[in-house]
């Protein structure tokens, strides 16, 4: 290390101009050192603050990754793989957060402490000594000047002694101050090197310790984990690239296909009007009267839903009812200030809505669609013609199927021609193979002038209960659909719980129960009666199939509307042509005053497939027959019935024997036979 320049302390008493000039050089050096170390201190302070922020941010990141599995994203499902991966990342980042915390502590001790001490102690001491030296030098100059002005002619011994004492004191003070000042300036030449090297040494040692600590914690296991995650990220990038290319191609195709639709009023020769629509949606302008003559128009989104016209403002969650369009009238109208307007008038004439379409094509399609919905079942003056038409084609118009469902139904394999299959306690046959009402007289199936029930009157029907459960008849029904202090055994012990959305069409008393023709004839008469009396509204319910009963539950209040014991269901079938229609026959004892049994046929419309509901009822019968099985065997029975390719799903008719639930005390041989058939 080169020799350190020093101020000559021996010459402080003389205080020569050369000494003062050399002192000025040291003071300039001190000022430069102070300025440089001030900037260096700010830089190191930023390093320290950044490290503290990095440590806190790393800890927060680890905490957020741990809380990922608790988050509920609107579009994200429960991804266990992603949650597990992020938990592993959180563990690694938590360890890194600990390492960063240790690094922050080391930087505070080894880097910030030395340079802070140099700033606040050494440099501040020199500044204070410089101020004290300047004051002492001024006092000495004043005392010397006063001593020099002592009069030669009039000597006053007292004044002379005071002035000499003042010179002595000020010179001594100046000498002591300048010696300490020179010593501090000389020591500063050493301290500036220490103050520069110590923080850098502490910074490097802290970083090396941090890297060593990280290398010890991030073992080979984490390296393999990171490699696997990197591979997964690359796979996701490739999938994203493929999806982006497919999306771009889709956009190009849609742009090319939608180019004619950009025009508000397209050429009808290029885009013909579709008059066979049963569902329509789009933006229309609706007119509101603001006075006797004046009116205003509002842009809204309109769509048809069942037999209703709905509207929805942009940004709303759900739409609102505009009017019931069953049996309404619609026609094009002329408005003074608007084109392509049409008016919808309710069947009673009390309400009318004027709407404006964007084009002539759109206007004609809306008119045709509303006409198709309003007149789904075409009436005739001759009741026999009504019944014949309903029996052939009106079955498809009870509730129009969505377009995507119609497309899916066209690809389903036909059930005709499949072999008949059997189940334990039930017989299945393809209903479409035998013509309906060909071998039996209508009078043998349904008695003439039999009343038809179109609505579910009683909120809960407990007529058909077994003696074992007769004690529960006097129990009050909870209006909120919740059971009271004791739950029914059927909801707790039944292994089968299948729920279907159905709409009740009607019920009527029948005679025969041996053939599905009774269900087909009941469907025909109920639909014909609906057409004659203009009854198009249906009650929607949830049909719950368990191993003990069938329940019709109100979807809003969860109140049980009807309840039938499974042992009373003797026949279940779906329609031959419209698979969404199905019905079942119940046979109960003691229903009349004279004690004769009552047989009633209930007809429903389902959202999907009536055959599945019939299969579910048959499966419940099988489980009830094998009630002595344990849960594992019953689960196997359910799984076997739900496998694809099972012949049980091919049938349309289920003839259900009451003996399935009555012969629970059969012998061991009968039980083994039933298990083998299952």
Residue tagged 């029914």 (tokens):
488
**How crowded is the C-beta side of 273, counted as CA atoms within 13 Å?**
14
Give the pLDDT score at 590.
55
Give the pLDDT score at 395.
42
Give the pLDDT score at 49.
93
Name the residue with higher pLDDT: 374 or 56. 56
Which CATH number characterizes residue 531's domain? 2.30.29.30
Residue at a domain's end among 217, 232, 265? 217
Residues 518-534: what's their mean pLDDT? 84
**Least confident span in 104-118, 297-311, 369-383:** 369-383
Whether 115 and 188 map to the same domain: the answer is yes
Q: What value, to the nearest 5°, has the Cα angle with vertex 147 and ends 144 and 151? A: 150
Give the pLDDT score at 410.
36
Which CATH number characterizes residue 198's domain? 1.20.1270.60
Q: Give residue 631's pLDDT band: very low, low, confident or very high (50, 70, 90).
A: low
Whether 206 and 324 map to the same domain: the answer is no
Render pLDDT for 253-266 as a digit per residue (tens, 0 to 9): 988 888 777 877 77
Q: Is residue 407 part of a domain?
A: no
Residue tagged 């984490």 (tokens):
222
pTM reported for the whole predicted model:
0.39
CA distance 367 to 464: 49
Q: Give residue 493's pLDDT band: very low, low, confident or very high (50, 70, 90).
A: low
Q: Which residues contact 217 (CB under 8 A, 6 or more apart)?
A: 95, 96, 99
Whether 206 and 292 map to the same domain: the answer is no
Whether 209 and 84 map to the same domain: the answer is yes
Structural domain including 594 reads 497-629
Does 373 have pLDDT greater than 90? Answer: no
Q: Give residue 463's pLDDT band: very low, low, confident or very high (50, 70, 90).
A: very low
Q: Is residue 598 part of a domain?
A: yes
Task: Tell the burial category of 47 from Cβ atoms under 10 Å away from its Cβ (0-12, 13-18, 19+).
Answer: middle
Does 591 have pLDDT greater than 60? Answer: no
Residue at a domain's end among 379, 413, 431? 379
Whether 34 and 180 map to the same domain: the answer is yes
Q: Buried b / exposed e across 3-32, counting CB within 10 Å, b at 16+?
A: eeeebeeeebeeeeeebeebbeebeeebee
| Crossing angle of helices 80-107 and 157-217, rounded to 10° | 150
Render pLDDT for 392-406 as a digit per residue (tens, 0 to 9): 433 443 443 333 334
Strand (E) or helix (H) holding 395: none
Q: Is residue 424 part of a domain?
A: no
Whether 210 and 320 map to the same domain: the answer is no
Give the pLDDT score at 666.
38
DSSP of 417-429: TPPP-EETTEEEE
CA distance 616 to 624: 12
Whether 206 and 124 map to the same domain: the answer is yes
Q: Is residue 440 part of a domain?
A: no
Q: Is residue 520 part of a domain?
A: yes
Render pLDDT for 423-444 as a digit per residue (tens, 0 to 9): 333 333 333 333 434 444 555 6
Please tell me which of 48-52, 226-230, 334-338, 593-597 the model is most confident about, judged by mean pLDDT.
48-52
Residues 159-182: what's their mean pLDDT? 89
Whether 501 and 370 map to the same domain: the answer is no
Whether 199 and 302 map to the same domain: the answer is no
Q: Is residue 563 part of a domain?
A: yes
Domain count for the chain, please give it.
3
CA distance 116 to 199: 10
Q: Which residues pair with 342 in a beta bridge?
A: 332, 355
Q: Can you tell me whether residue 500 is helix, strand or coil? A: strand
Tell me the average pLDDT of the chain: 75
Q: Give residue 646's pLDDT band: very low, low, confident or very high (50, 70, 90).
A: very low
Q: Is residue 590 part of a domain?
A: yes
Whether 96 and 199 map to the same domain: the answer is yes
Whether 211 and 333 map to the same domain: the answer is no
Q: Is residue 100 part of a domain?
A: yes
The percentage of residues in the chain with a pLDDT greater than 90, rounded to a whole number, is 13
Q: What is the 3-state secondary structure (H, E, C) of 439-468?
A: CCCHHHHCCCCCCEECCCCCCCCCCCCCHH
CA distance 460 to 492: 20
Give the pLDDT score at 473.
38
Residues 545-573: what's their mean pLDDT? 86
Does 342 have pLDDT greater than 70? Answer: yes
């Amino acid at each position: 290390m080169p020799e350190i320049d020093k101020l000559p302390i021996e010459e402080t008493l003389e205080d020569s101009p050369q000494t003062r000039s050399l002192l000025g050089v040291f003071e300039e050096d001190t000022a430069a050192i102070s300025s440089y170390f001030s900037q260096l201190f700010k830089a190191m302070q930023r390093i320290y603050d950044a490290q503290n922020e990095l440590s806190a941010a790393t800890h927060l990141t680890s905490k957020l990754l741990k809380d990922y599995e608790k988050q509920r994203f609107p579009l994200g499902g429960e991804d266990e793989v992603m949650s597990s991966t992020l938990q592993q990342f959180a563990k690694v980042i938590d360890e890194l957060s600990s390492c960063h915390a240790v690094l922050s502590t080391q930087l505070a001790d080894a880097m910030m402490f030395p340079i802070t001490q140099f700033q606040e102690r050494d440099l501040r001491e020199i500044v204070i000594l410089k101020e004290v030296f300047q004051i002492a030098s001024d006092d000495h100059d004043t005392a010397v000047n006063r001593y020099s002005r002592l009069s030669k002619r009039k000597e006053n011994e007292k004044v002379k002694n005071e002035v000499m004492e003042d010179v002595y004191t000020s010179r001594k003070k100046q000498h002591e101050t300048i010696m300490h000042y020179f010593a501090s300036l000389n020591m500063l030449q050493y301290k500036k090197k220490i103050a520069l090297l110590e923080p850098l040494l502490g910074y490097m040692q802290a970083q090396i310790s941090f890297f060593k600590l990280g290398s010890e914690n991030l073992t080979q296991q984490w390296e393999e984990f990171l490699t696997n995650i990197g591979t997964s990220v690359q796979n996701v990038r490739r999938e994203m690239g493929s999806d982006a290319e497919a999306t771009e191609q889709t956009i190009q195709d849609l742009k090319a296909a939608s180019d004619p639709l950009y025009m508000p009023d397209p050429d009808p020769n290029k885009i013909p009007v579709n008059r066979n629509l049963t569902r329509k949606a789009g933006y229309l302008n609706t007119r509101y009267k603001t006075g006797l003559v004046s009116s205003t128009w509002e842009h809204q989104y309109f769509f048809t839903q069942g037999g209703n016209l709905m509207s929805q403002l942009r940004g709303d969650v759900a739409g609102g009812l505009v009017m019931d369009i069953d049996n309404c009238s619609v026609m094009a109208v002329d408005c003074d200030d608007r084109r392509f307007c049409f008016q919808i008038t309710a069947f009673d004439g009390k309400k009318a809505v004027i709407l404006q379409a964007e084009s002539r094509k759109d206007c004609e399609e809306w008119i045709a669609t509303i006409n198709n919905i309003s007149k789904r079942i075409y009436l005739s003056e001759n009741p026999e013609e009504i019944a014949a038409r309903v029996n052939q084609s009106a079955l498809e118009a009870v509730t129009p199927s969505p377009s995507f469902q119609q497309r899916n139904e066209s690809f389903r394999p036909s059930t005709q021609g499949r072999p008949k299959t059997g189940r334990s306690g039930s017989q299945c046959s393809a209903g479409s193979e035998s013509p309906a009402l060909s071998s039996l007289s209508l009078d043998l199936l349904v008695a003439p002038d039999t009343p038809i029930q179109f609505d579910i009157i009683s909120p809960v029907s407990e007529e058909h209960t077994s003696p074992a459960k007769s004690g529960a008849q006097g129990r009050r029904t909870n209006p909120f659909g919740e059971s009271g202090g004791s739950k029914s055994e059927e909801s707790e012990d039944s292994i089968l719980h299948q729920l279907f959305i159905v709409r009740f069409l009607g019920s009527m008393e029948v005679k025969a129960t041996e053939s599905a023709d009774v269900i087909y004839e009941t469907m025909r008469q109920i639909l014909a009666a609906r057409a004659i009396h203009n009854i198009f509204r249906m009650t929607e319910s949830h049909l719950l199939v368990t191993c003990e009963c069938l329940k019709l539950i109100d979807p809003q209040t969860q109140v049980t509307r009807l309840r039938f014991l499974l042992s009373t269901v003797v026949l279940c079938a779906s329609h031959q042509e419209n698979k969404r229609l199905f019905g079942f026959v119940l046979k109960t004892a003691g229903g009349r005053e004279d004690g004769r049994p009552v047989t009633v046929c209930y007809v429903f419309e389902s959202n999907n497939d009536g055959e599945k509901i019939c299969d579910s009822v048959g499966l419940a019968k099988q489980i009830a027959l094998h009630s002595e099985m344990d849960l594992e065997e019953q689960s196997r029975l359910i799984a076997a019935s739900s496998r694809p390719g099972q012949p049980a799903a091919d049938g349309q008719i289920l003839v259900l024997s009451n003996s399935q639930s009555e012969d629970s005390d059969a012998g061991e041989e009968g039980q083994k036979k039933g298990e083998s058939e299952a």
